[in-house]
Amino acid sequence: MKRIGLLSDTHGWLDPRIREHFAACDEVWHAGDIGGLHVTEELAR
């Protein structure tokens, strides 16, 4: 079974603790109002 993390409305800002919070997730889904491609690039790391 996959563990999926869900977040939304980052509006171009990611809390530095996001990586730690979603560390156990197989995938992270962003539900909208991303604010810029740098957010998706950071989540992909």
pLDDT in tens, 1-45: 999 999 999 999 999 999 999 999 999 999 989 999 999 888 888
Report field, pTM of the whole predicted structure over 0.85: no
- Residue 43 is predicted with a pLDDT of 86
Q: Tally the domains of the chain.
A: 1
Q: Which residue has the tokens 């809390």?
A: 15
- Residue 44 is predicted with a pLDDT of 86
Domain, as residue range, for 40? 4-28+35-44
Separation CA 3–CA 45 (nearest Å): 17
- Residue 32 is predicted with a pLDDT of 86
- Residue 3 is predicted with a pLDDT of 98
DSSP per-residue letters across 2-43: --EEEE---TT---TTHHHHTTT-SEEEE-S---SHHHHHHH
Six token digits for residue 28? 């992270």
> What does residue 38 show for φ and ψ, rounded to 5 degrees?
-60, -30
- Residue 27 is predicted with a pLDDT of 94
- Residue 5 is predicted with a pLDDT of 96
